Structure 1
Amino acid sequence: MSSPTEFLDIVEQEITGAVQGVLVRPATGSRAGVLVLHGSYGPGTLDRCRLLARAGLMALGLRWYGGEGQPPGICEVPLETFSAGLDLLQTEGAGRLSALGLSKGAEAALWLSVLDQRTAAVVALSPPSVTWANLGAGTDGQSHPWRSSWTWQGEPLPFVPRDKTWEPKPREDGLVSLRGWYEHSRELYPDHYEAAAIPAENTKAELVLVAGGDDQTWPSLPAARTLRDRRLATGLPTVLIERPAAGHRPRLPGEEPASPSTYLCYGGTDADDAALGTAAWPHVLNALRGP
């Protein structure tokens, strides 16, 4: 059953300048702000921001690459970009600051919670447990050799390269699964994998991890379990919502099914992706709204 807050009137505002994106908030305002981070497919967070705003949250859908003055790809993106998003939410009156990210956006959100202790909660949808190499070009226009996806205070974070000899093999349906690329690269670079681990145990932010066992982009469910276990070992509770048959793109209640791809296989089905999002939704709201 939907809660009454899901029908709040909302206000939208385009954000330009040093911080780029869209700010969506309940017309009555909110003291809880959430940074909404897209994945490697690029900007497209407006509908998710609207959903969160109707649930009573101030949501900033941040554009963090591909915009004016930004790297054209996910290559050495300054994590300060996300801290600037928190700054904006704080300026707009948010007292509780959180982040919700999908895929590479989840990777960024997890690092943000480690490096910027203002982050009270993180919802990581289909997360990794390490920093992976760049996807696309940096500000110099170069995609190779491999570099880190992120920098902090001007220094690149340790990362795991991907096997440059790997070649995609289309499935029977003609789509390509990238999961094997990441799994093989982990085996190929075990020392890098250990060094690039996201130290989720070093943040006291509430963590809600959401992952499907049929994720064909990368092994997000094993990664989410790794993050959970690292935190539990230090006494930090973590919520993990999983569904074996769900894929890379969990769908929150009220969201339309993800657009089908003509090249990449994301795994899961619309029904399972929706079921995973539905199971996660109350935990998402609890974390983002706070006590």
Structure 2
Amino acid sequence: MNVLRRALFAAGLLALSVPVCAQRIDTNTHQPVLAGEPLQLALADLQPGQTVTLRAERTVRTFSGPVRRFMSEARFQADAQGRVDLTAQAPLPGGSYAGADVRGLLWSMRMQDGEVKEPVFNRIQFQLHDAEGKPLAQAELRLTQALPDVQTRKPAGFPGALFAHRAGAAKRPALILLGGSEGGSAINRDAPFWASQGYAVLALPYYSPRSWSPSGMQPPELPELPANFVDIPIERLEQARAWLAEQPEVDATRIGVQGTSKGAEFALIAGTRLPWIKGIAAIVPSDVVWEGWGEGVEPGKRSSFAWQGQALDFVPYKDFQQEFAGAALGEPIVIRRPLDKGRAAATPAQIEKARIPVERIAAPVFLLGGDDDQVWDSGRMAQALADRRAQVPGLKTMLLRHAEAGHFLGGTGTGPTTHYNDGLMKNGGTPAANARAQAEGHAALKAFWAATLN
């Protein structure tokens, strides 16, 4: 019996001397992580060659309003050290995404059935399972759109606008943000992020249409603003500049303008007329002024923009209303079609009069477009803008053109891109290409503003 006891005791000592390995999911040490900043995601303490499945889940507010659960998964094989680094290692075939991409599980998430009643946003939950489905580890990655010291306030005289900046007395360069045809205050969500980068930011709504809901048409969010996209005054930016110059946080000698979609059209037009703008970022831009639209507006008669009360020349659409009429029959809406047809039908003289003369913009210009954009041909139009500026020596232009990307390129590459074409409205691009264009464009845009305004 004593021999048996000694043997058991020795075995216990041996067990204590062998390290006990627990599988781990390693993410960023310091959280929350500012959206768009570098991510870390790795698996550790696996058996060499072990096959595991990593699942990710988060809640997201969709374009139509409801909050839905999104999920993704990928299988990996551990290396000789029992590790998987998602930055450098591609998943095995059959998962939600392919190719080495640390953001792959984030953008490849797919929408699940059922609305989430009590959502928690900006939190990604990871679960690790072995080949038999046994849970091995779990972890969480929390993202944020703003650093804790970002302060916001509503500026007087600008309906729905948001001003954001970091606390502190030092004056800093400013950015004016212009949204697209969605209108309302949607552009406000981007202001805290850019304030976190060190800018004083004015998110400036300029148009607020009525919106559709299952219960019928809803009144405009901001009734003080135009409800039709017609003759939007470019000189509204002069008012914004004057207000920024009065703010103690702002260095009004360094103001940039960043616009997306119709906001990019707005920003580029402004750059040809307002020499105080020190830089322009045009995300999915147009190289011409387009026709305006709205309730009761006769097709082909009105411009989107005006300068000092004078409507600008424009390229008209063709069959715009017919494109939307098909939605009643469940046919997809591709807004690019009436724009392409309108441009093809326009005379060279019409197009030249409507062209935005970006060669007159002395400030640096950033351009980001996608060739598969189904709202308008932003890839080709961004190229045309860059080519025109290249004819003038000394002009600084940064162009990013993505062959397989669509219209939604204003993100950071950390949100789901799989649902951009799920509804009747088609925006274009593959999920992988859209996510890659977002991530690359976001990094380049940060560098552009740092070099241009700082």
Q: Normalised by the size of structure 1, how large is the TM-score?
A: 0.89
1:267-291 residue CA offsets vs partner (Å, 9 max, x unmatched): 1244322211221223322333324
Displacement of 1:82 = 2.1
Which position in structure 1 is the counterpart of 2:162? 22
Equivalent of 1:2, from 37, 44, 47? 37
Letter in 2 for 1:247: G
Which position in structure 1 is the counterpart of 2:434? 273
Deviates more, 1:109-118 or 1:7-16: 7-16
Letter in 2 for 1:55: Q
CA distance in 1 between counterparts of 2:397 and 2:404 reads 22
Letter in 1 for 2:402: R
CA distance in 2 between counterparts of 1:246 and 1:194 reads 27
Letter in 2 for 1:144: E
Equivalent of 1:213, from 364, 371, 376? 371
Which position in structure 2 is the counterpart of 1:223? 381
The answer to whether the 8 A contact 1:251-1:274 is kept is no
Is 2:364 the partner of 1:188?
A: no
Cα gap change, 1:270/1:60 in structure 2, threshold over 3 Å: closer, same or farther? Answer: farther
Is 2:233 the partner of 1:72?
A: no
Equivalent of 2:174, from 33, 44, 61? 33
RMSD: 2.5
The answer to whether the 8 A contact 2:158-2:204 is kept is no
Cα gap change, 1:91/1:263 in structure 2, threshold over 3 Å: closer, same or farther? Answer: farther
CA distance in 1 between counterparts of 2:407 and 2:267 reads 17
1:44-78 residue CA offsets vs partner (Å, 9 max, x unmatched): 11221111111111111111012344321210111
Equivalent of 2:335, from 175, 178, 182? 178
Displacement of 1:42 = 1.2
Letter in 2 for 1:85: A
Which position in structure 2 is the counterpart of 1:144? 298
Which position in structure 2 is the counterpart of 1:62? 204
Letter in 2 for 1:15: P
CA distance in 2 between counterparts of 1:164 and 1:266 reads 18
Is 2:316 the partner of 1:161?
A: yes
The structure carrying a bigger helix percent of its residues is 1
Letter in 2 for 1:287: F
**Max radius of gyration: which structure?**
2
Equivalent of 2:262, from 94, 101, 104? 104
Cα gap change, 1:151/1:161 in structure 2, threshold over 3 Å: closer, same or farther? Answer: same
The answer to whether the 8 A contact 1:47-1:255 is kept is no
Question: 1:44-63 counterparts in 2 under 5 A?
Answer: 44-63=186-205
The answer to whether the 8 A contact 1:30-1:57 is kept is no
Bigger RCO of structures 1 and 2 (CA < 8 A, at least 6 apart): 1
The structure carrying a bigger strand percent of its residues is 2
> In structure 2, the residue corresponding to 1:277 is in which secondary structure?
helix
Letter in 1 for 2:384: T
CA distance in 2 between counterparts of 1:274 and 1:214 reads 14
Is 2:270 the partner of 1:116?
A: no
The answer to whether the 8 A contact 1:32-1:288 is kept is no
Letter in 2 for 1:37: L
Displacement of 1:38 = 0.7
Equivalent of 2:425, from 249, 252, 264? 264
The answer to whether the 8 A contact 2:411-2:442 is kept is yes
CA distance in 2 between counterparts of 1:166 and 1:176 reads 11
Letter in 2 for 1:73: N
> In structure 2, the residue corresponding to 1:167 is in which secondary structure?
helix
CA distance in 1 between counterparts of 2:413 and 2:149 reads 15
In the alignment of these two chains, the number of paired residues is 285
Displacement of 1:125 = 0.6
For structure 1, the 5+ residue unaligned runs are none
Which position in structure 2 is the counterpart of 1:246? 405
The answer to whether the 8 A contact 2:268-2:356 is kept is yes
Letter in 2 for 1:133: E
> In structure 2, the residue corresponding to 1:2 is in which secondary structure?
coil
> In structure 2, the residue corresponding to 1:222 is in which secondary structure?
helix
Which position in structure 1 is the counterpart of 2:362? 204
CA distance in 2 between counterparts of 1:25 and 1:270 reads 33
Letter in 1 for 2:281: V
Displacement of 1:90 = 2.5
1:180-227 residue CA offsets vs partner (Å, 9 max, x unmatched): 211111111123211100000001111000011110001011100000
Deviates more, 1:254-263 or 1:29-38: 254-263
Is 2:378 the partner of 1:237?
A: no
CA distance in 1 between counterparts of 2:149 and 2:436 reads 26
The answer to whether the 8 A contact 2:229-2:292 is kept is yes
Cα gap change, 1:42/1:256 in structure 2, threshold over 3 Å: closer, same or farther? Answer: farther
Cα gap change, 1:88/1:257 in structure 2, threshold over 3 Å: closer, same or farther? Answer: farther
Letter in 2 for 1:234: V
